[in-house]
Copies of this chain bind each other. A is one copy, B any other.
Amino acid sequence: MSVTAAQGFSAAGIAAGIKESGNPDLALVVNHGPRRAAAGVFTSNRVKAAPVLWSEQVLKGGEVTAVVLNSGGANACTGPKGFQDTHATAEKAAEVLTGHNAGEIAVASTGLIGTLLPMDKLLPGIETAAAALSEHGGEKAAIAIKTTDTVHKTAVAGGEGWTVGGMAKGAGMLAPGLATMLVVLTTDADVDAAGLDSALRAATRTTFDRVDSDGCMSTNDTVLLLASGASGITPEQGEFAEAVRAVCADLARQLIGDAEGASKDIRIEVVNAATEDDAVEVGRSIARNNLLKCAIHGEDPNWGRVLSAIGTTKAAFEPDQLNVAINDVWVCKNGGVGEDRDLVDMRYREVRITADLAAGTESAVIWANDLTADYVHENSAYSS
């Protein structure tokens, strides 16, 4: 599982002392080749963390030897000093791994925005992590990137003789514009950077990009895909892209399932839209409606709040042709009262909302969470 499921990779996760709790907070993932191809997608937030600015530059070369990831601090809104710290992190990793330069080292950080990282702990931690590198270290790496995540998140897929594996963290500020929090995917398939980029962009567009737990886009979202080529196999591109998509979808589903304070996972499917963009706009509007999110928490099939959310969009539809189902009961038909709302059973964690725009043939699925008192408590504690 995780980033060491594919051949040619080692990883480690250690406690460097960045977190005051003493929990693991530093992960290192190394690609031993023979190939070192890589692709990445990053947050579309215009306020980008230092490690995002750094890694975007690294990825332009299409080659990544190693990724250093830390929890316990986002290194965002930290000015020139924060960028210097990311640079020093990459330099240290290049030095420790020997024979490489900082320009091949991607860096990712997660935690509180607006504080500098304790470099006196992070830099020695890179040496400790390098010494702990193992072909079985994927699980420990996945644990070391957790912040408020209650569980670590890994996934794997693949084909004949090749594998795609990955890890993810993310539990809040979870409404990626291009990707979600920190994700590293690895493969031993022999695929070049262009093939990786194409597969990764296609995968994130319909997986991480359609997660909207709380409407808040992070400054640090990073998804990396590294290929070692160690299997010696070059899969057909469509088959490879599907494996990448499957791992992304699995990890995205795990992110929603572990969102801060959530008690429900809400699958919002918009059908019969005029365009896919319309379907996504409507799905996202429903996903971000706080009143609806409260109603779902209360197991109340309050379809009026779905319609009021749809009504704020520019999508093509006629109000008197809208249909809405909650857990397959069509509680709203033709914009008015439909089947008996008492038929809706909402006892389980997964809730399905279907919005039929009756305006075309396109569709999209957005995943969201409910809004709970636990979410408020977790996010109102002092700079959690």
A217 proximity list for chain B (CB < 8 A): 308, 311-312
A144: min CB distance to chain B, Å: 22
Asked if A42 is at the interface (CB within 8 A of a chain B CB), the reply is no
Q: Is A320 close to B, CB under 8 A?
A: yes
Instruction: Say yes or no: A298-B47 contact (C-beta < 8 A), given A113-B305, A308-B218, A311-B219.
Output: no
Kindly list chain B residues whose C-beta atoms are within 8 Å of the C-beta of A297: 376, 380
Q: Is A373 an interface residue (CB 8 A)?
A: yes
A32 within 8 A of B: no
Q: A45-B312, A76-B304 are in contact. Are A298 and B337 (CB under 8 A)?
A: no
Known contacts A217-B311, A320-B79, A336-B78, A294 near B113 by CB under 8 Å? no
Q: Are A46 and B311 in contact (CB under 8 A)?
A: yes
In the assembled complex, A383 has its CB within 8 A of some CB on chain B: yes
Shortest CB distance A374–B (Å): 8
**Which residues of chain B are within 8 angstroms of A337 by Cβ–Cβ distance?**
77-79, 114-116
The 8 Å CB contact of A332, one of B82, B114, B302, is B114
Asked if B303 and A114 sit within 8 Å, CB to CB, the answer is yes
Query: Is the pair B295, A379 in contact by a Cβ cutoff of 8 Å?
Result: yes
Task: Give Cα A313 to B44, complex, Å.
Answer: 10
Q: Which residues of B contact A116 (CB under 8 A)?
A: 337
A residues 190-243 in Cβ contact with B at 8 Å: 214-219
Chain B residues near A291 (CB, 8 Å)? Answer: 172-173, 214, 216, 379
- Within the complex, which residue of B78, B215, B332 is in contact with A288, where a contact is CB–CB below 8 Å? B215
B216, B310, B376: the one within 8 Å of A47 (CB): B310
Name the residue of chain B whose CB is nearest to the CB of A263: B380
Given A294-B376, A311-B47, A380-B295, verify A304-B216 contact (CB < 8 Å): no
Q: Which residues on B sit within 8 Å (CB–CB) of A310?
A: 46-47
* CB contact between A307 and one of B77, B215, B299, B376 (< 8 Å): that residue: B77
Closest to A300 in B: B382
**Is A8 at the interface (CB under 8 A from chain B)?**
no
| Chain B neighbourhood of A305, CB < 8 A | 113, 216
A334 at the interface (CB under 8 A from B): yes
Give complex CA distance A379, B299 in Å: 11
Subset of 7 A-B contacts with CB under 8 Å: A45-B308, A45-B311, A47-B307, A219-B307, A288-B288, A300-B383, A373-B377
Q: A79-B320, A114-B304, A294-B380 are known contacts; what are 13 more A-B pairs with Cβ within 8 Å?
A: A46-B311, A47-B310, A48-B311, A78-B336, A78-B337, A114-B337, A215-B288, A216-B305, A294-B378, A298-B382, A300-B382, A302-B383, A376-B376
Residues of A within 8 A of B (CB): 45-48, 74, 76-79, 82, 112-116, 172-173, 177, 214-219, 288-291, 294-295, 297-300, 302-305, 307-313, 317, 319-320, 322, 332, 334-337, 371-373, 375-383
